[in-house]
A and B are shown apart, each in its own frame.
Chain A
Amino acid sequence: MLELSDRNVAALRRVLEQPDSNGRYHPVREIARGGMGVVWEADDRELGRRVALKILPFGAASADWLCREARVLAGLEHPGIVPVHDAGLLADGRAFYAMKLVQGNRLDQAVAGLTRNQRLRIFQRICEPVEFAHSRGIIHRDLKPENVMVGEFGEVLVMDWGVAKLSSGGPETGIIGTPQYMAPEQAAGANDTVDQRSDVYGLGGILQFLLADQPSSRPLQAICKKAMAQDPRERYATAAAMSADVGKFLEGEPVSAYRENPFEVAWRWMARHRTLVLLFLGYVVMRALVLYFLGR
């Protein structure tokens, strides 16, 4: 029998893994790999464009899962959600769907070098598609920095809706999500009680991640704390409400999650009306100088 080296075996494994869609999609390179499958960059030869092909492992259950994700995405037409172009089976029986190829970086790689306010604006744009999905009865359930892409032109996209919960969804068992960003009710496997506030918890985790290496701010810490409250009733009721609080912080207004002391109110007011304060201080100094010289 032919004797294959380890290198031969590894090379043949790569051949097997390559998606074969019977001609339409020509695989270019593997982009990502995870428990729920592999994503390839591919040439769509029919329409002459590059797409991302998500391919699931063998198995009918996986195929159903992929179809479900494709259907979820197809029903969510939003600039912050990657559009699906096509779905089906590869020649070897694996399920796939083709989606827009996003050129950019994952959030955890994209924010290096950005200021706190730039990060907060990105965060607000993450909230938009999440809120939109909630309005369609869809809960993402796996919000984390790795599932957010920041495109070349600053577009922000929420990815990986494979474990989304549909309001019309069937029975589900087991723990779904990523431990670090998972709401307590998800960690407990109480999938019936998972709602949009569970995604608010995940958004809180993302905000915390974005602020990890930034100067500490009590209002922002309070926003994170509120979003990640153990009791869902104590969290923001919606992603929009959380985004609005972040927006208030950016505008120098009081946030709902934090009660300021008078000193902080004054400090925030001064920070917000910096020009006015500087003019006033300038006026006081000038006045003092005038009085001083007149007094001599």
Chain B
Amino acid sequence: MSFPVTRYSAVRGASSADRGERSRAWDVLAAAYWQPVCKYVALKWRLDPADAKDLTQGFFAAAIEKDHFASYDPSKARFRTFLRVCVDGYVANERKAATRVKRGGASVCVEVDDRIAASSSLEDYFRDEWVRSMFAMAVEELQRLCDDRGKTIAYRLFARYDLEDEGRDPEANYRMLAAEFALPVTQVTNHLAWARREFRRIVLDRLREITADNEEFEKEAQLLLGICSN
């Protein structure tokens, strides 16, 4: 059996010699990771949202300027892990620099570090926020796709049924939606099947973009699909 080959990897594109390619890759990576990085920075360093936002902005700007991601080696870790380590290094340096200016503030980082949960749970937090961000992007893209193709109703059904899944009996929910949208049940299920297929495709396409190779893609896909917890 063969699996889809990685079509385009922004992780690889980020260190491309081609400026346009590099710029596009950075856009993709920033879109996928901006939110999780910002939330992670706020939690780990106990920062208010505005400071976390500034640091995140600074991190991506520095990474672009200094081409940080060119040193990423897929054989050593997932890109997500690599990125988190880069963020930690960047924020630590920034805080050290700020401490030098203010004097006497060096202990803050250590105290905060001691108080927060173990690094593994922080990693889980970063992963969960990354999943949230991936899903949010995919839902937005699905909505755009539905609008473009005149399938607004498919998106509305998806949003009502799949986004707000309350674990009720599926058949009863289909009937309820059919009544609410004045559609036959078969059309409801057909619309939902289409929207779900597109949602899966979008998520996996985005995932291919932000992973370096097929191996990393498969690992992350396993994680997103909830089957393996590597």
Using a CB–CB distance below 8 Å, which chain A residues touch chain B? 1-4, 7-18, 20, 23, 26, 28, 33, 35, 37-38, 56-60, 63-64, 67, 89, 91-95
Contacts and interface: CB of A to CB of B under 8 A. Distances in A.
Nearest to A67: B1
Contacts of B138: 12
12 contacts: A12-B163, A13-B226, A15-B165, A15-B199, A17-B226, A20-B200, A33-B227, A35-B228, A57-B225, A59-B222, A63-B1, A92-B200
Interface stretch (B46-54, B129-137, B147-155, B175-183): B129-137
A26 B135 CA distance: 23
A9 B197 contact: no
B35 interface: yes
Interface in B1-41: 1-4, 35
A59 B162 contact: no
A132 B170 CA distance: 41
A3 B131 CA distance: 12
A1 B140 contact: yes
B88 interface: no
B224 interface: yes
Contacts of B222: 57-59
Contact of A3 (B136, B137, B200, B226): B136
B218 A15 contact: no
Contacts of B227: 17, 33, 37-38, 56-58
B162 A11 contact: yes
A93 B196 CA distance: 15
A60 B215 CA distance: 9
Nearest to B192: A15
Nearest to A63: B1
A2 B136 contact: yes
Given A8-B163, A37-B227, A16 B136 contact: no
Nearest to B214: A60
A15 B228 contact: no
A57 B228 contact: yes
Contacts of A37: 227
B1 A9 contact: no
Interface in B159-194: 162-165, 170, 189, 193
